[in-house]
Structures are given as C-alpha cells and as structure tokens.
Amino acid sequence: MKKKLFWIVPIVLLVLLTPIIYKGVNSKEADSKDNKVAAKEGSKAFGGDVNSLSAWVVYWDLSADKEIKALNNKLKNVSYFSANFDSNSKLVMPEELINYYNETKGFKYDKYITIVNDKAKGDGSYSLKDTSLLKTLLNNEASRISHIEDIMNLAVKYGFNGIEIDYEQIKNDMGLWNNYILFVNELYKKAESKGLKLRVVLETNTPFDKLNFAEGPTYVLMCYNLHGGFSKPGGKADDKFIRSSIEKMSKVPGKKDFAIATGGFNWSSNGKTTSVTEEEANGILKKYKAKVRRDDDSKCLYFSYKDENNLNHDIWYADKITLNSWMKVISEKGYDISIWRLGGNLF
C-alpha cells in the first residue's frame, strides 16, 4: 500500500500542477508577444513608409526624451537649436543646450549644431534673423574664412557629427545670397575635410530660380508658415503647399530634405497671435470644453473659445494624424523628412 501511495502522490501533484504550469508558460509567451507588439507600435510613431527622420530640439524646451523614444530607430539626426551670436558677434551656445548635449552625447542618432543669425543686444534682447550680421560675417573671403573657423572650432570642441546653417530673412538680397552660397561651399569643403556633415536650412521664399546651389550639403526646405501671425487662422501647411514647396527645390542638386512643423498658433481677437504646442492646445481645449474639428485640406485640428477677458480665440494645430498626412506627401516623392520641433508633442 505504501508503495502504491509513493507513486500515486507525484502523479496527482503533476495532474494538479499541469494547468498552472501551462498557464504560466502561456502567460510568459503572451507577455513576450505583448512586449513585441508594444515595441512594434512604439516604433510606428509614424507610417511604415517613413524610414528616416531628422528633428530639432530647442534650448528653451528640452522635454523631448519621450518623443525621441517614440520615434525610435526612425530618428537618424537631431539638430541642437541653437548657437547664436553675442553682442560682439562671437558665436556662443546656450548653457542649457550644452548641458543637454552632454547628457545625450551617447545616443545613437547623429548630432548637429544649428547656427542661426540671431544676435544679442546690449540690453539683453535679441536682434532675430539679423541680416546686417550676415553681411559682416560673409562680406569677403577673409571674413568668411574667420567665420568658418569659428564654426568648425565650436563643432569640433563638443564633438558634433555635423553642422547645420539656418540663416534666414535674406529674401531678395542677391549680393548677400551670392556671398552666402560662397560661404556654404567653403564651409562644406572644410567640414568634409574634418569628417563632419553639413545641413543647410532654406525658407520657401528663397529665390531658387536665380541661385546656383552646389551639390554636397543636405538642403532642408521649411515646408511650413502657410499661416501664422501674419495671416488669418489656418494650418501651418497643407498638401498643396508642401507639393509646391518641393517643386520649388527641383533646381537644387544633391540630397534634399523637407521639414514640417508640429504645434500651431492661437489667434486672439485682440490681434495677438501666439505659438502653441499640441500639448498646450489640448490643455486649452479641455479647460474651455471647446468642440474640436479637423480641417479637410490641412488635416489640422482647430477649435474656438472665449476666454475670461471676453476675448475670442481660434487655435489651429497639428497632431500625429496631421503630421502623417504631410509626411506621406514628402515620402511619396522619395525624400526624407525633418520635424520642427520636439517638445510638447503627443506622438
């Protein structure tokens, strides 16, 4: 009898435990599948046809870690915005940006330092998109060489992978444009000799038909600012505007990249227009319990509300669906995409 019990007890235990073991194994497999799906979904912040993204981080809003994780391996380049000029026209980098760069130095994407033509004034304010500064910096070969040397020293000092030039508001000043193109060509040669890449950001009002850009750098066109503080309420872009912008760049040789913008604007009935992130727009939407709609042309979200001061507001902004729509137009043409900017987005 004891011998029989000796064999029966393990068999009974095995029968009782089998469902638990089976359930545990299945649970682990399910967890594994869930994790894979979650990882897959995380990597699908944007459509499968978008394989290479660049994005800007800005020194005044460096809360971009969550968005960088969402973009995952699609994110190939990050531009650190920005280095500018002090009151003595010396190239400087904000301390916040230096600290953030040091914190993210080990991340896998290529890191560019963006340089803009903003100059500090003696009173602490800034002259934004200062073309007088550009005329001084790019006026002749000697001044260009000196400026290029300063740029290279900054990029090499911190160990950036590349340089991005974002000099704006040149408009139709052909003399300045000619010096600018000489500067870009000279900078590209110098950067290439040091193993650094170069991106050149251009506005949609650039007179492409009158200019001869050389192959070498990546030229990035800003496909936004269709609406803003200068206009009635509307989206930052739409499909037609993006296609038109791409066509404008047809004469530019070499690698081209097209930038779209996140967030939007808040137009007030007092004439003031302010920029808003998607996160801020969502907060306002909830606060005033407004009704949000999606525009057919731009795919932007928009809503209206009245504030505590009896002022009427119209907000238009982009979300993930909007950005996917714009990206599709660009990727169908075979180009890569840049995102202005990270911070305050919910993708």
Q: What is the mean pLDDT of the chain?
A: 90
pTM score, whole prediction: 0.87
CATH 3.10.50.10 in the chain is located at 257-347
Check whether domain 50-222 has CATH 2.60.260.20, yes or no? no
Per-residue pLDDT reduced to its tens digit, 76-129? 999 999 999 999 999 999 999 999 999 999 999 999 999 999 999 989 999 999
Determine the residue type at 3: K
What angle is formed at CA 221 by the lines to CA 81 and CA 296, rounded to 5 degrees?
A: 105
Per-residue pLDDT reduced to its tens digit, 55-81? 999 999 999 999 999 999 999 999 999
CATH 3.20.20.80 in the chain is located at 50-222
**257-347 CATH fold:** Chitinase A; domain 3 (3.10.50)
